[in-house]
Structure 1
């Protein structure tokens, strides 16, 4: 009986959960911290819903965007998420499959919320990369893959939606290898596709799985269908060949043309997956309840436990030396705050414990701020629900109440002296779109407008707020139009503040194109001690190598001797760096500049830090005007999918928007167009593509780089900037 089964599984899970938090290596070995990431609309949240159901964590399946807005997917707890049918915030939960405890973070697919994926992968040991069997490797799939590689996160792939018209897992596997350059092989062969999809054949154990019952909870084993025997054998040899490329033991079997025992094959797959040299590929249809349980077996068998991963911290008490972390409950505590949320009880701080244990009532220290605090409450999250626990051990993910901190802060034992660890911070992309906003109710006596902006900034490092010095307007910046729209809607719903928003503004940048020298003296004498500082050198564009390393500003001191006293050199660097904040053409920040200091002079009485900072600012203004300054605009990578009959119309529209078509693929009467378009030209495109394709077209975009703006476009921008300067 399905109901009885759910009750039994839930009871077993509850018994398992009670053992969680008993810190120790045995517990860590049976733990998996995984994220579920993919391109938008690939079925991540639907897959998570099935995982929670099959592990007994929830008793009923709800769809991502059902008829009842109060019954959305468990992990989409925000009302706005259930209405739009998308994931906006990453959500954490935990469950148990057989003997293994699993912490799961379901992340957004839309590129505007990419920081949610970034910070989830920062603290996870493994991941499931979900791919659509029709769409294959899409633009956000490539972004997610890049993020996983940045943090060396091992992953398994899951080709979803095998029930869709046009499903082609073989083509998706080829795209994984070619577009993502991953050494991947299928672990399964599908039994039928599209409306005939009925199950999968396990290549390792050579057994067929079919899924029965109202929700696919009954998994039946059977022999391999005769018509699939040759394909299974071919895929099995291909699996051995791919493993042989990265594993010596499997290479011997492949060269001897022998097939290893299933246990030996599984062990090799696990070794290679954890080493990030191999990606096992699973498949099924989460929506049709097929293939999820074997995927859970893959998570248990192949993804790493915290004990399998090697992490390190920077020791602030030892000149930031890198030191290894031990997944040991008895070692000194090291925990990273990776996500903040506002709840009805105050700030909720999500942490990953890397070493030691977190216990309710213990004193911890924020190594970033040095603040010592008692830990009043520790909880585990199940989407928006909480479960109080007394202790969490190494490798665990939990949430804390009553702790004031910032995202990226490191916590340690308050009572251990000379232990000051700091975890490496995550990569945070720069915002590309800005809006001027103000509350409709000018009085806003409750101050909710300011409270909301303050909270959103703490929660999301890609959401920025500033007040323009000249117009006194409040400017919010983010990763895209949808990103900012969501925050304005959340402000209205959660804080009862209606806002008036201006037109979206593009975050331009400026740079230089040639070398220019400077020799500037700052001198001020007005009675008493004055100010004196002279700096000499040159500025030049950064090299391609430096730009690829992610550098935006480089300062080199090439003075011979101490023409400028050493204590003032840092003030010179600071002066130049502060000058980068406002360019000379359109007032936007500069990037890609190298400053080389070769000489200078100081006065025994009148020289000080401020004098050299002001000298650097003057020198910078002098040199930038002679260094061929240009305006840079953000250019977006855009992927558009439209029916074939609308392809010409869409390409024409992209050309009108100054876009560059990179490639165009056709499959099953569906055209996929890859292009690059300036962000300035993409405003309002969602309306255009809907009307041009009768609402059958869709697109995604993500930031690529800042690139030089055409001169005629830049001149218009410069004219408007000068007019605004004159008016002020």
Structure 2
């Protein structure tokens, strides 16, 4: 292993930011970029009166709605670290995109709203992280507002999520009126100046020793007394810090702050970089692949069309897992079984991009995709051919019949629907025996239909007609003997809708689990699956 490769791996930190909607995920992402020098002025993601929007929300619909609907990739440098942030959608309707993104990271930052605590979507995302053994760092956000007591939030993390917590810092103040934070490692107190520019620039602060009476005299007696009591309680009854437990997702370091007002953000960033793991080994068909393996390998975790409307391009995002990436290198593509050349590699600050010459394990690189890549594809050195572990697939729960309003624009309609399917934004089906003028579209949530309609109109110039369908359950059908399944041979097919996916696999859509049970009981020779039997059946 070359010393250069070893040093580059040690510098990398690749993580996702996860939270319930409106917990401040995109705001924190932007403030990390501010402190990293990647941007020089932060814009409020809340105020629609401001001219700036969150850097990571690059789609026009994201700027209009104030939500993230697709994960963004952001890379910047800070204090000799190279940081890859994946800002994920918080809304549950886009959770499939978030799940795929979590396959590409080495750790996750979980944001908790100080007033709301652990929320529904946070539980789901946390569960995915825990199943994958991803180390989780917690940022309790919105300390500039009144919220729950810090000790109550720690109890909530343990009782609701089942993970022990270790506060790395502690709020200084009483009744939700916080002046600063106490650093438990250095035993120092950082006091912040008033936020006079609405978080657009770095916030000034002063730091002093906790046992420096002169410095601590700046605080009221009640504040000092409350801090002393809390510190004593944490030292006596709190969890001991154990980095091994953090690495295995059993203990979460907790930080308190406010992303909106830059309260505690810099301290969080520096501590995260110190504690978070560098790129980790990945499981493959050839065993565990270490990042310091000299032979290059990567996998595709995201496909995005039309990031640049002027070029109507399509990009495949890869996570580099081992070796050194070089522009124009030739690699083996596991899906096609053919060698391909990796031209025009790009790195990102959301939709802003630049061509790069090289990259290392942990880095996220965008490749121009003429239509050859699919989500989950492995690319590697042709001297050592293997495939990385499969991505999770989620059955759709909402369905609609979609067609072009203007039949003269059918070509653009088909192109747009196909590209969005390849991105993984929707799942596409064709009804058995129906004409080719419409598709059945399946999604995880209803908000995805709004995004589908918006993107077809704005990126492909196509207005659509959408008719919601009553189905909530999709099952792929198969026979053990591999014989073809036809609607006429399936008892109760008329109780739902018989469709085919993009690989012409038969799928049955039904209203509920009861109807599904009836069909299963009356067709004992048919096997039902939540996902395609052949994992490669979906791009």
Task: Please indicate, yes or no, whether the TM-score normalized by the shorter chain is above 0.5.
Answer: yes
Aligned residue in 2 for 1:394: 361
Aligned residue in 2 for 1:425: 390
Q: Distance in 1 between matches of 2:180 and 2:457?
A: 46
Does 1:110 find its partner at 2:91? yes
Aligned residue in 2 for 1:220: 206
Does 1:406 find its partner at 2:374? yes
Q: Deviations over 1:435-482 (max 9, x none)?
A: 11221212216x11111101100111x511222233433211111211
On the 8 A contact 2:397/2:474 being kept in 1, the answer is no
On the 8 A contact 2:471/2:510 being kept in 1, the answer is no
Counterparts of residues 471-510 of structure 1 (less than 5 Å)? 471-472=434-435, 473-508=438-473
Larger Rg: 1
Does 1:293 find its partner at 2:266? yes
Does 1:310 find its partner at 2:274? no
On the 8 A contact 1:30/1:100 being kept in 2, the answer is yes
Q: Distance in 1 between matches of 2:489 and 2:415?
A: 27
Q: Distance in 1 between matches of 2:486 and 2:281?
A: 38
Q: Which has the higher contact order (CA 8 A, sep 6+)?
A: 2
RMSD: 2.9
Q: Distance in 2 between matches of 1:578 and 1:471?
A: 14
CA apart distance, 1:42: 0.6
Q: Secondary structure at the match of 1:574?
A: coil
CA apart distance, 1:190: 0.8
The answer for unaligned runs of 5 or more in structure 1 is 1-21, 244-267, 316-322, 511-551, 556-570, 591-616, 618-630, 635-705, 712-728
Determine which of 281, 285, 303 is the counterpart of 2:254.
281
1:391 to 1:188, Cα distance in 2 relative to 1, 3 A: same
CA apart distance, 1:583: 5.6
Does 1:139 find its partner at 2:120? yes
Aligned residue in 1 for 2:290: 326
On the 8 A contact 2:497/2:510 being kept in 1, the answer is no
Q: Secondary structure at the match of 2:393?
A: coil
On the 8 A contact 2:496/2:511 being kept in 1, the answer is no
Determine which of 345, 352, 369 is the counterpart of 1:385.
352
Determine which of 412, 415, 424 is the counterpart of 1:451.
415
Q: Distance in 2 between matches of 1:193 and 1:287?
A: 20
On the 8 A contact 1:509/1:633 being kept in 2, the answer is no
Counterparts of residues 614-625 of structure 1 (less than 5 Å)? none
CA apart distance, 1:575: 2.7
Q: Distance in 1 between matches of 2:24 and 2:183?
A: 22
Does 1:161 find its partner at 2:142? yes
Q: Distance in 1 between matches of 2:77 and 2:205?
A: 18
On the 8 A contact 1:126/1:155 being kept in 2, the answer is yes
On the 8 A contact 2:347/2:354 being kept in 1, the answer is yes
Instruction: Kindly tell me the number of residue pairs found equivalent between the two proteins.
Output: 484
Q: Distance in 2 between matches of 1:710 and 1:468?
A: 22
Q: Deviations over 1:381-432 (max 9, x none)?
A: 1100112111112222211124521111000124x2xx22101122121111
Q: Distance in 2 between matches of 1:581 and 1:381?
A: 51
1:581 to 1:62, Cα distance in 2 relative to 1, 3 A: farther
The answer for unaligned runs of 5 or more in structure 2 is 211-215, 217-223, 499-505, 519-539
Counterparts of residues 329-340 of structure 1 (less than 5 Å)? 331-340=294-303
Q: Secondary structure at the match of 1:201?
A: strand
Aligned residue in 1 for 2:219: none
Aligned residue in 1 for 2:483: 575
Does 1:366 find its partner at 2:329? no
Q: Distance in 2 between matches of 1:509 and 1:300?
A: 43
Between structures 1 and 2, the one with greater helix share: 1
Aligned residue in 2 for 1:666: none
Q: Distance in 1 between matches of 2:487 and 2:149?
A: 54
CA apart distance, 1:161: 1.1
Aligned residue in 1 for 2:229: 230
CA apart distance, 1:145: 0.6
Q: Secondary structure at the match of 2:482?
A: helix
CA apart distance, 1:342: 1.5
On the 8 A contact 1:64/1:76 being kept in 2, the answer is no
Determine which of 184, 203, 206 is the counterpart of 2:187.
206
CA apart distance, 1:708: 6.9
Q: Distance in 2 between matches of 1:578 and 1:301?
A: 59
Q: Deviations over 1:598-653 (max 9, x none)?
A: xxxxxxxxxxxxxxxxxxx9xxxxxxxxxxxxx9755xxxxxxxxxxxxxxxxxxx
Aligned residue in 2 for 1:26: 7
Q: Secondary structure at the match of 2:457?
A: helix
Does 1:584 find its partner at 2:495? no
Q: Distance in 2 between matches of 1:345 and 1:509?
A: 32
Q: Distance in 2 between matches of 1:93 and 1:581?
A: 51
Aligned residue in 2 for 1:346: 313
Q: Secondary structure at the match of 2:146?
A: coil
On the 8 A contact 1:112/1:480 being kept in 2, the answer is yes
Q: Distance in 1 between matches of 2:73 and 2:390?
A: 20
1:580 to 1:304, Cα distance in 2 relative to 1, 3 A: farther
Determine which of 416, 421, 427 is the counterpart of 1:464.
427
CA apart distance, 1:232: 1.4
On the 8 A contact 1:23/1:393 being kept in 2, the answer is no
TM-score by length of 2: 0.83
1:147 to 1:589, Cα distance in 2 relative to 1, 3 A: farther
Q: Secondary structure at the match of 1:35?
A: strand
Q: Distance in 1 between matches of 2:51 and 2:135?
A: 35
Aligned residue in 2 for 1:120: 101
1:487 to 1:219, Cα distance in 2 relative to 1, 3 A: same
CA apart distance, 1:707: 6.2
CA apart distance, 1:311: 2.0
Q: Secondary structure at the match of 1:506?
A: coil
Aligned residue in 1 for 2:131: 150
CA apart distance, 1:348: 0.8
1:26 to 1:42, Cα distance in 2 relative to 1, 3 A: same
Determine which of 14, 18, 22 is the counterpart of 1:37.
18
